[in-house]
Structure 1
Amino acid sequence: QGIQYLIEHQVLSSDLQEIAKFLHKGEGLNKTAIGDYLGGRDPTNIQILQAFVACHQFANLNLVQALRQFLWSFRLPGEAQKIDRMMEAFANWYCKCNPGVFQSTDTCYILSFSIIMLNTSLHNPNVRDKPHFERFVSINRGIDNGGDLPEELLKNLFESIKNEPFSIPEDDGNDLTHTFFNPNREGWLLKLGGRVKTWKRRWFILTDNCLYYFEYTTDKEPLGIVPLENLSVRKVDDPKKPNCFELFNPNCKGQKIKACKTDGDGKVVEGKHQSYKISAATPAERDEWIEAIRTSITQDPFYDLVSARKKKIASKN
């Protein structure tokens, strides 16, 4: 709509190449909005995406260098189909700029995702098991039309990410608001306290594989954050509250769940919960929350996309 408005008021030409250049230059533009627009499935959006990718100079850059440039020019959207279209366009253009580096664009596509996932694993403080180079090699075995990529090439890419993480554009500085812009689910629920067993009404937001809770819908900072990694969710009965469900760690019974909250002084402290018991207003609402949380726990679009592409390669060979 923003692009259409600029065209109608003759601020921007309707030429697709000009629109792509405008987005690539990106002065004062919201990079999350750029990512959402470029990932659109409309044929016009796809053509603009291809022209946008072609604005990048990838010749003689290794794959990490090219990804650094590409991922800084917009914010990668969360929807798997949008990510797929954008990374497909990236892989095609990189291979066109650097013929002979990979045997196919599929190789470039899969390796790009491996590098993005490696970046997360190495630099996300929530990931304790940091991958070694040997694991990176193992993950990428046979991706070059059934053959292996040169170990020296993989070593250079691995060391580059290890030494310097990707810079991801933040449209709103340190404000968490952008995280909650398009949540998987949000709503009022009752939460049982961890240390003091009282029920309190909280505004919950489920997004980015985390469950956040706030005192009010207008709050910018959450009272607590519960990363859903390694957790499970189940329906439970409670004599005092109806429609309950529980977040728990099936592998570490009796241990506190890895989470954080703000105390009365506004300091961030470790959560006190061995499990989180939550009550919804209706049975239907409870079931919808359970389903949404389960989906969030299991859903990782990067792994799904790489898995689908590897199956495609295997069926060719």
Structure 2
Amino acid sequence: WCRAPPLPATPSPHPAMEELPPETGEEPPPDPPASTHGCPPGGSAVTPALANGGQGRRGEAQRLAARLFHLDDFKKSQVAAFLRKNNDFSGMVAQEYLDFFQFGGQTLDQALRSFLQALVLTGETQERERILGHFSRRYHHCNPGAFPSPDAVHSLTCAIMLLNTDLHGQRLGRAMTSAEFVANLSGMMDGQDFPREQLKALYGSIRSEKLAWAEDEEEEEEEETAGGASLAPPGCKKSNPFLDLPGGTGAVTYRRGWLARKVLAEADGKKTPWGRRGWKPFQAVLKGTVLYFLKPGGRTGAEEPLGVHHALAERASKYTKRPNVFRLQTADWRVFLFQAPTSEEMFSWISRINLVAALFSSPPFPAAVGSQRRFVRPILPAAPSRVPPEEQHRSHEAWMERVAQELFEHQRNLPEKRGRARDLDEYRLKKEYLLYERRRYETYVQVLETWISAGAQDLEGWEAQAGPVVAPPDPPTLTKAHSSPSLVPEPPIAPTVRVKRNISERRTVRKIVPKRNKNLL
């Protein structure tokens, strides 16, 4: 084994780590209990004070690291709690723990896969960054010629984690391409560029096989005994700290029932191709802020779940081909149509989806800033809000007034009639966005007012008090006019008969010669 020299556990100052995905909204696992902090017989005990910032000895750190690596009275989900703290003892434990890994001769993605199989990467963003920093220093020590410094390994490791999330996570748009992955890492290897072929190989490895996440043995046994009855699709593991959907374990189930689904638009409002617009029946479950779709007939597996945070459900009054249909637009501007068995169930689905969205939609982040003057929608966080309903109601009211004021200013500054087509499109897109946002926040405010007045507890009582959702009236249409029956209809015009002329009656063309030129002929 190659032993790494003692290194400080300070986080890397590299800006790439600032782009790590935020927390999924779940609480980080608690530290292991004090009873599991002891050493094997004959060794000194590791007290909780040492694990929380005290100055420990190197021998105690080595013994604790050995127990963590061999999972001696520890679980994989408890290992990260001893490696992620920002103190000297946690740094020594992390160094001794990483010394058990032999990364010599392995590529970076191979070493990262083996490391993520040994522990569950949990904690806040900076705590995960600290653990990946320990991994980067160990990999550079075992492969000193692969990269110029541990910071370069750290930057590329974080880029691989983000690439895995972009390719295999719940993305809002198209996936990152190989050229974009290479361009994003320009100048990140201590001011130089990583080898292009190396980045392409890493991209191909992550695209063909996503990073597998560790799980405790008890959780794996529970999943096997459950027979695959999980609500999440088979490709999403709940222990993945970067891909977890909010509202999974321990979330409240707000509604369950049969729904037929039709996809009208994909991410960013792009129209769905005709071949994928058919109606499909599902057993739908609204659990937390996630709407799950189970296949009917006892078939295994499930469709991709749908997040309802910052979503808006409305009755599809313009869709007349089927009854009891409501429209759902999500945070990434995907549009779905759902058909319920009865009108009562349709109104119940609309009310409860809007209630969940109003209760748990966090305030949006500022929109991305670019060099081009283009309209960009603000970023809507998926992490659920944890504030009480009264404060959430005040927040939605403030955003409703802000959007209304912005819409007023936008409509005052009309673009030039002879302006560029691009400017006109930008004006139209922003106007559509502001109109939709105003309607969404008005719905949230109205729903929360009735929810708070009903006591914010009983769903059935709240639905009875709020009443059915009233669809906006359709615009009046002109009826087709009919002629008065008292008027005498005009006789039909007789068709024109074409008469074929005789050959002798046809006009002939003769050559006219002036008299003065007759002598010349």
Coarse TM-score class (shorter-chain normalised):
0.5 to 0.7
Counterpart of 2:107 in structure 1 is 62
Counterpart of 1:87 in structure 2 is 132
Which residue identity does 1:17 align to in structure 2? Q
The size of the alignment, in residue pairs, is 254
Counterparts of 1:28 and 1:292 in 2: how far apart (Å)? 42
Please tell me whether the aligned partners of residues 83 and 90 of structure 2 are also in contact (alpha carbons under 8 angstroms). Answer: yes
- 1:85 CA displacement: 0.9
- 1:137 CA displacement: 0.9
When normalised by structure 2's length, the TM-score is: 0.40
- Aligned pair 1:111/2:142, yes or no? no
Counterparts of 2:69 and 2:312 in 1: how far apart (Å)? 48
Which residue identity does 2:146 align to in structure 1? V
Please tell me whether the aligned partners of residues 98 and 134 of structure 2 are also in contact (alpha carbons under 8 angstroms). Answer: yes
- Aligned pair 1:255/2:326, yes or no? no
Which residue identity does 1:33 align to in structure 2? Q
- Aligned pair 1:291/2:362, yes or no? yes
Distance 1:142 1:111, change over 3 A: same
SS in 2 for 1:255: strand
**Which residue, out of 53, 59, 78, partners 1:33?**
78
Q: Which ranges in structure 1 are unaligned for 5 or more consecutive residues?
A: 197-201, 214-222, 239-245, 258-272, 281-285, 300-317
- Aligned pair 1:233/2:310, yes or no? yes
- 1:129 CA displacement: 3.1
Counterparts of 1:117 and 1:275 in 2: how far apart (Å)? 36
Please tell me whether the aligned partners of residues 12 and 19 of structure 1 are also in contact (alpha carbons under 8 angstroms). Answer: no
Instruction: Specify which structure has the higher proportion of strand.
Output: 1
Please tell me whether the aligned partners of residues 35 and 75 of structure 1 are also in contact (alpha carbons under 8 angstroms). Answer: yes
Please tell me whether the aligned partners of residues 79 and 120 of structure 2 are also in contact (alpha carbons under 8 angstroms). Answer: yes
SS in 1 for 2:105: coil
Report which stretch shifted further, 138-147 or 158-167: 158-167
Counterpart of 1:277 in structure 2 is 353
Counterparts of 2:102 and 2:311 in 1: how far apart (Å)? 50
The C-alpha deviation readout for 1:22-53, integer Å capped at 9, x for no partner, is: 11122674211222332234543332122212
1:217-228 matches, within 5 Å, as 226-228=305-307
When normalised by structure 1's length, the TM-score is: 0.61
Counterparts of 1:148 and 1:16 in 2: how far apart (Å)? 38
- Aligned pair 1:98/2:128, yes or no? no
Distance 1:146 1:88, change over 3 A: same
Q: Which ranges in structure 2 are unaligned for 5 or more consecutive residues?
A: 1-30, 47-59, 232-236, 261-284, 293-301, 316-326, 339-348, 365-379, 386-521
- 1:187 CA displacement: 6.1
Which residue identity does 2:355 align to in structure 1? S
Counterparts of 2:80 and 2:214 in 1: how far apart (Å)? 11
- 1:143 CA displacement: 0.6
Greater C-alpha radius of gyration: 2
**Which residue, out of 167, 185, 195, partners 1:150?**
195
Q: What is the aligned-residue RMSD (CA, Å)? A: 4.6
Counterparts of 2:291 and 2:259 in 1: how far apart (Å)? 19
SS in 1 for 2:354: strand
Provide the identity percentage: 22
Higher relative contact order, chain-length normalized (CA < 8 Å, sep 6+): 1
Which residue identity does 2:361 align to in structure 1? I
- Aligned pair 1:16/2:61, yes or no? yes
Counterparts of 2:153 and 2:107 in 1: how far apart (Å)? 11
Please tell me whether the aligned partners of residues 186 and 194 of structure 2 are also in contact (alpha carbons under 8 angstroms). Answer: yes
The C-alpha deviation readout for 1:121-160, integer Å capped at 9, x for no partner, is: 3345867734332222112111112211111221232233
Counterparts of 1:150 and 1:54 in 2: how far apart (Å)? 28
Counterparts of 1:69 and 1:277 in 2: how far apart (Å)? 41
